[in-house]
Amino acid sequence: MSRVFAIASNTFRESIRDKILLSLAVLGFLLIAASKVFVPISIGQQAKVIKDFGVGLIEIFSLLIVVLIGTRILYQEIERKTIYSIISKPVTELDFVLGKFLGLYYLIIVIQLILFSIFILFMKFYLGTIDWFLLNALYFYLFEFLLLDAVAVFLSCFTTPITAGILTLLVFFVGQLSHYLKDLVVVTGVSELSVLVNFLYFALPNFSVFNVKANVVYHLPISVNSYFLAFSYSILYTLILLIISSLLYSLKEYQ
Amino acid sequence: MSNLWQEDCRGLEMKVIEIKNLVKIYASPFMRKKSIGLNGLNMEVEEGEIFGLLGPNGAGKTTALKIITHLLKPSGGSVTLFGGVGSLEARKRMGFLPENPTFYRHLTGMELLQFYSRLYGKNPTRKELEEKLKVVGLKDSQDRRISGYSKGMLQRIGLIQTLIGDPDLLVLDEPLSGLDPVGRREMKDLIRKVNMEGKTVLFSSHILSDVEAICNRVGIIVDGKMKKVGHIGEILKSEIRYIDIEFEGMEEIDWLNEYGDLKKEGKVIYLRTKDTEKKDKVLKEISRRGGRIISVVPQRQSLEEHFIRTLNE
Ligand SMILES: Nc1ncnc2c1ncn2[C@@H]1O[C@H](COP(=O)(O)OP(=O)(O)O)[C@@H](O)[C@H]1O
Ligand SMILES: [Mg+2]
């Protein structure tokens, strides 16, 4: 296990020192600055808009991290041949994949904690009160991005970063809409669609189980079931993806 | 009695690497043509020796070393390491320096060694690692990022990284390439030193003088096959030598043309003869005609010439 943590913290350190993170941070600040411009437009609704916007921004920022960094962390090791000095040491493919996955997850956790802290300060100064109920979103995000991290790692086992990035985005957005897919068949009445839709529904991760944005913004109650579902669904799906990824890796050669 | 005992001992001497009929075919769905990396390679590396794998570019050296270190999978044949231990155990007991090595650019030299140590479950102090870096003259660069390291520095930290797990076997792919003359000598000394400490070394090179200088045994690999294996002396002994005779004080030398190549520099005349059997006759004849012999030097064929001849066979 010490090997997994060694690889994880090295991956974390690499992405921290990577310039892409810096450019993402700049992007984040630009977005926050932009929010200042149009927040005053909706008077009365101001508090709701800020909360909605903040929670959404944190999600998009985390998504960008996974898509831009997560899809590169494995590929880079092969591309830059640094993997030669890993695999020739007593490190299994599972160690390697788990380490890379965890390294990205460290980054996601740190980023989320920072963004939520900034968000809390933002509320304090702009709205005068802190809406602690919003922190429920953090719980769901941590499991949502655990799963998305695994999706990115899995996809990058057999594609280039760009392809893996696009596919990760697709999986994320289709996965958000996954429960609408079934309605689509009923509404359109095109039965040929149902095979495809059923496949997508069951094969793709269902990210809507993590979607509590409306609840946290409008203070709608969140059932105990939702907490449990988000946790167990994410862990189970992640484990399956990581095991398949490490099997794919054990077939790999480093030419 | 003691002879018998020695016989037994030789039988038990462990082969660190035993490669039988190893084949590697590079093929992928995207490659129109298959390319052959190894074509039935046989080789053995014995405990405690420095074995030099010598061959021109594209001969299959890197392919062989990458299969030994589990980076590539063989298409056929077998590789037995340390008498047949499992893959993880084998990797625990060997260190690998890849060809033109690259390491994490975001780490400093010190951080890199700390990271690799943790892959072996070790947690050495800074001081211990500093000692290791000092050996290869990188102590002053230990806190610099790898991205600023020169080719030679990468080779040197690359060698140190192979030693982190205190392995029994070092596998070094072209460890001397990209080094300046001083660097080459230092690296050779280091390789000899770790060998003296009991580590078996397998290294590849396309440069003969390097192999000649540090190896106990050499294998010449061409087109994915082992063409010749043996102690350097043995490989060369079996070959025809020639003799350089240097003498002076003789005007009439045309009669010597039939014995070999003649060269005249001022008063001194050089004769290079391949006719080793007639050497005595020639020497006698030179003296009889009033020549004074300065030196007689039997020239062993250099490994280089031997190598080129092997390639042409
Ligand atoms: N990744 C690869 N894809 C296809 N062919 C390769 C690959 N790597 C090596 N080869 C082929 O295998 C042969 C041996 O290459 P290599 O082991 O790198 O030789 P060396 O290290 O002795 O220069 C060469 O003919 C080369 O073309
Ligand atoms: Mg090579």
Question: Looking at residue A39, what is its pLDDT?
Answer: 56
Return the ligand number nearest the Cα of B98.
2
Of A14, A18, A253, the CB nearest to B71: A253
The reply to whether B6 falls in a domain is no
By C-alpha distance, which of B103, B97, B15 is closest to B61? B97
Ligand 1 atom closest to the CA of B61, numbered from 1 = 22
The number of C-alpha atoms within 13 Å of B45 and in the hemisphere containing its C-beta is: 29
Chain B hits for A69, CB-CB cut-off 8 Å, are none
Chain A hits for B26, CB-CB cut-off 8 Å, are 255
Ligand 1, residues B24, B26, B174: which to mutate, most atoms within 8 A of Cβ? B26
Please check whether residue B73 touches A, CB under 8 A: yes
Which residues of chain B from 12 to 51 reach within 8 Å of chain A, CB to CB? 26
Range of the domain at B278: 239-312
Reported confidence tier of residue A142, pLDDT bands at 50, 70, 90: very high
Burial state string for B77-103 with b = 16 or more CB within 10 A and e = fewer than 16? bebebbeeeeeeebbbbbbbbbbebbb
Return the ligand number nearest the Cα of B31.
1
Comparing alpha-carbon positions, the chain A residue that sits nearest to B102 is A82
B181 plus B281 within the same structural domain: no
The least confident of A42-56, A128-142, B79-93 is A42-56
Question: Looking at residue A46, what is its pLDDT?
Answer: 73
Measuring CA to CA, how many Å separate A48 from each of A38, A216, A219, B220? Answer: 13, 10, 10, 76
Ligand 1, residues B24, B62, B204: which to mutate, most atoms within 8 A of Cβ? B62
Where among B235, B250, B267 does a domain terminate? B235
Reported confidence tier of residue B2, pLDDT bands at 50, 70, 90: very low
Please check whether residue B88 touches A, CB under 8 A: yes
B161 plus B74 within the same structural domain: yes
Question: Looking at residue A126, what is its pLDDT?
Answer: 77
pLDDT digits (tens, 9 = 90+) for B140-179: 999 999 999 998 899 999 999 999 999 999 999 999 988 8
Reported confidence tier of residue A80, pLDDT bands at 50, 70, 90: very high
**Could you tell me the distance, in angstroms and rounded to a whole number, from the CA of residue B51 to the centre of ligand 2?**
16
Where among B235, B253, B278 does a domain terminate? B235
Question: Looking at residue B110, what is its pLDDT?
Answer: 96
As a whole number, the mean pLDDT across chain B is 86
Of A14, A91, A255, the CB nearest to B104: A14
How far does the CA of residue B166 sit from the closest CA of chain A (Å)?
A: 12
Q: What is the pTM of this model?
A: 0.83
Query: Does pLDDT of A181 surpass 50?
Result: yes
Ligand 1 atom closest to the CA of B65, numbered from 1 = 17
Angle among Cα B40, B46, B51 to the nearest 5 degrees reads 70
B229 plus B243 within the same structural domain: no
Please check whether residue B270 touches A, CB under 8 A: no
* Cα–Cα distance measured from residue B22 to residue B39, given in angstroms and rounded to the nearest whole number: 7
> Mean of the pLDDT values across residues B23-51?
88
The least confident of A156-165, A193-202, B214-223 is A193-202
Q: Percentages helix, strand, coil for chain B, rounded to the nearest 5?
A: 40, 30, 30
- CATH code of residue B122: 3.40.50.300
Angle among Cα B73, A95, B129 to the nearest 5 degrees reads 100
Question: Looking at residue B239, what is its pLDDT?
Answer: 59
Query: Kind and range of the H or E element at B173?
Result: strand B169-173
**What are the structural domain ranges in chain A?**
2-250
The reply to whether B9 falls in a domain is no
B244 plus B227 within the same structural domain: no
Question: Looking at residue A86, what is its pLDDT?
Answer: 95
Q: Is the dihedral of CA B77, B83, B87, B93 positive or negative?
A: negative
B213 plus B255 within the same structural domain: no
The number of C-alpha atoms within 13 Å of A61 and in the hemisphere containing its C-beta is: 28
Query: Does pLDDT of B11 surpass 50?
Result: no
Query: Does pLDDT of A101 surpass 90?
Result: yes
Where among B179, B202, B235 does a domain terminate? B235
DSSP string, B23-79: EEEE--TT-SS-EEEEEEEEEEEETT-EEEEE--TTSSHHHHHHHHTTSS--SEEEE
Tokens for B14, please give them.
């462990």
B123 plus B266 within the same structural domain: no
The reply to whether B5 falls in a domain is no
B36 plus B148 within the same structural domain: yes
Pick A158 or A186 by higher pLDDT: A158
Tokens for B206, please give them.
């396309």
Question: Looking at residue A41, what is its pLDDT?
Answer: 52
> Mean of the pLDDT values across residues A235-249?
94
Pick A194 or B135 by higher pLDDT: B135
- CATH code of residue B243: 3.30.70
The reply to whether B86 falls in a domain is yes
Query: Does pLDDT of A69 surpass 60?
Result: yes
Question: Looking at residue B22, what is its pLDDT?
Answer: 97
The least confident of B122-136, B179-193, B243-257 is B243-257
Number of domains in chain B: 2
* Pocket lining for ligand 1, CB < 6 angstroms: A 255; B 26, 35, 37, 55, 57-63
Return the ligand number nearest the Cα of B56.
1
Which residues line ion ligand 2, judged by CB < 5 Å? B 61-62, 99
Reported confidence tier of residue B49, pLDDT bands at 50, 70, 90: very high
The least confident of A21-25, A51-55, B255-259 is A21-25
Return the ligand number nearest the Cα of B64.
1
B263 plus B218 within the same structural domain: no
The least confident of A181-185, A204-208, B47-51, B222-226 is A181-185
Of B102, B107, B115, the CB nearest to A80: B102
Of B94, B103, B119, the CB nearest to A6: B119
B255 plus B124 within the same structural domain: no
B204 plus B260 within the same structural domain: no
Query: Kind and range of the H or E element at B236?
Result: helix B232-237
Pick B80 or B284 by higher pLDDT: B80
Reported confidence tier of residue A129, pLDDT bands at 50, 70, 90: confident
CB–CB contact A17 B106 (8 Å): yes
Query: Kind and range of the H or E element at B279?
Result: helix B279-288
**Size of the A and B interface in Cβ pairs below 8 Å:** 75
B176 plus B253 within the same structural domain: no
Please check whether residue B91 touches A, CB under 8 A: yes
| Residue B46 CB partners (closer than 8 Å, separation 6+) | B13, B14, B15, B16, B200, B217
Q: Which long-range contacts (CB under 8 A, 24 or more apart) does B141-149 make?
A: B141/B109, B142/B108, B142/B109, B142/B110, B143/B108, B143/B109, B143/B110, B144/B108, B144/B109, B145/B105, B145/B106, B145/B107, B145/B108, B146/B103, B146/B104, B146/B105, B146/B106, B146/B107, B146/B108, B146/B109, B146/B112, B147/B105, B147/B106, B149/B109
* Cα–Cα distance measured from residue A58 to residue A35, given in angstroms and rounded to the nearest whole number: 13
As a whole number, the mean pLDDT across chain A is 85
> Mean of the pLDDT values across residues A206-213?
86
Residue B156 C-alpha from the chain's centroid = 17
Please check whether residue B122 touches A, CB under 8 A: no
B229 plus B272 within the same structural domain: no
CB–CB contact A90 B119 (8 Å): yes
> Mean of the pLDDT values across residues A170-176?
87
